[in-house]
C-alpha cells in the first residue's frame, strides 16, 4: 500500500521505531508462514487477526487507526471499515479502520469480496505487505480503490524496496455500488490480478520483477493528503466513507483450501 513505502522514506528511524512498537502485537510469530484460510470476517479471532489501534506521528499521514472504526454489520454480514473526521484540535484529521492477518503468507491465490469506499481523497484497499518494520526489504502487492473514481482500480507492487509502475485499470462497473470478487494469483514467475473471475492484468518474471518474500495481508481505509493529490486527491476535512468486506481467502500453491469464489454466486 502506497502509504507504508512513503512513510518509511519520509519519516526515518524515529517514526519507524514508533510504528514497530505500535505493531508489536502483530509481529509475534512473523517468521512463521501461515497456511491457507477462508474467513467470512464476522469473527476476527485475535489469534489470527490484529485490528490496528494507534496513531503514527508523521504529520503527513492524516489518518489514525482505531478499533472503533472496525465493526460487523449483522444485517448483511459485512465487516465495515469506516473513515470519519476527528474532533477539532486532534492531531489527526481522520479516524480510519485497518485489519491485518497476523501470520504472513506467500505464493498462492488471494481473494476478497468487498464494496469499495467512495469519496474524493478516500482510499480503501486489499493488499499484502512486508518491509523494514518486520526486518525485511519492502515487498508488496496491491488492490487500491481511489474513491474519486470507483469505476477503476489501482494495482501495484513493490519488490526489494523498489516501487514498480502501478496501473489504473477499468473495471466496467462502479466498485462502490455492490460487492465484487477481487483476486490476485501470486506465483514465483507471475502475478495476475482479476475481478469476478475476469483477468485484469498479468505480469511475468520475463517482463518485471515478482515479489518473493512472505507478506502480511491488510485491509484498510484512509484519507489522502497533499502528497497524494495527483494520485488519490486530498480528502476534505469533513470526509466520511465506508468500505465493506464480506469474505477473504488464501489458498497456498498446491492446496485445496476453500475460497471465497466457492460461495454461491461467485
Task: Supply the residues annotated as catalytic.
Answer: 144
Let me know: does 36 contact 189? Beta carbons within 8 Å.
Answer: no
Q: How many other C-beta atoms are found inside a 10 Å radius of the C-beta of residue 54?
A: 14
| Cβ-proximal residues to 244 (8 Å cutoff; 6+ apart), any chain | 73, 76, 78, 79, 80, 114, 115, 179
Question: For 33, which DSSP code?
Answer: P
Q: Provide the b/e sequence for 185-218 (b: ≥16 CB within 10 Å).
A: bbeeeebbbbbeeeebeebeeeeeebbebbbbbb
Provide the 3-class DSSP secondary structure of residue 22: helix
Evaluate whether 138 touches 158 at the Cβ level (below 8 Å): yes
Q: Which residues contact 153 (CB under 8 A, 6 or more apart)?
A: 116, 143, 144, 145, 168, 169, 171, 175, 182, 195, 200
Q: Which helix (H) or strand (E) holds 203?
A: strand 198-204
Amino acid at each position: 500500500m502506497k502509504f507504508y513505502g512513503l512513510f518509511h522514506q519520509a519519516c526515518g528511524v524515529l517514526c519507524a521505531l514508533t510504528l514497530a512498537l505500535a505493531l508489536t502485537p502483530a509481529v509475534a510469530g512473523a517468521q512463521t508462514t501461515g497456511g491457507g484460510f477462508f474467513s467470512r470476517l464476522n469473527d476476527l479471532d485475535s489469534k489470527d487477526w490484529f485490528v490496528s489501534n494507534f496513531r503514527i506521528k508523521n504529520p503527513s499521514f492524516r489518518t489514525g487507526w482505531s478499533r472503533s472504526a472496525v465493526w460487523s454489520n449483522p444485517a448483511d454480514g459485512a465487516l465495515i471499515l469506516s473513515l470519519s473526521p476527528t474532533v477539532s484540535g486532534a492531531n489527526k484529521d481522520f479516524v480510519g479502520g485497518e485489519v491485518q492477518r497476523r501470520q504472513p503468507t506467500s505464493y498462492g491465490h488471494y481473494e476478497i469480496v468487498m464494496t469499495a469506499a467512495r469519496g474524493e481523497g478516500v482510499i480503501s484497499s486489499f493488499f499484502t505487505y512486508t518491509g523494514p518494520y518486520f526486518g525485511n526489504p519492502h515487498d508488496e502487492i496491491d488492490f487500491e480503490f481511489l474513491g474519486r473514481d470507483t469505476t477503476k482500480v489501482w494495482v501495484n507492487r513493490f519488490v526489494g524496496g523498489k516501487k514498480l509502475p502501478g496501473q489504473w485499470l477499468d473495471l466496467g462497473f462502479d466498485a462502490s455500488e455492490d460487492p465484487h470478487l477481487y483476486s490476485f494469483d501470486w506465483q514465483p514467475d507471475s502475478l495476475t490480478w482479476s475481478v469476478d473471475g475476469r483477468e485484469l492484468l498479468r505480469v511475468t518474471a520475463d517482463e518485471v520483477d515478482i515479489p518473493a518474500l512472505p507478506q502480511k495481508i491488510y485491509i484498510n481505509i484512509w484519507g489522502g493528503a497533499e502528497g497524494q493529490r495527483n494520485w488519490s486527491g486530498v480528502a476534505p476535512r469533513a470526509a466520511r466513507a465506508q468500505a465493506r468486506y464480506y469474505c477473504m481467502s488464501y489458498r497456498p500453491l498446491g492446496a485445496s483450501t476453500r475460497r471465497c469464489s466457492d460461495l454461491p454466486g461467485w
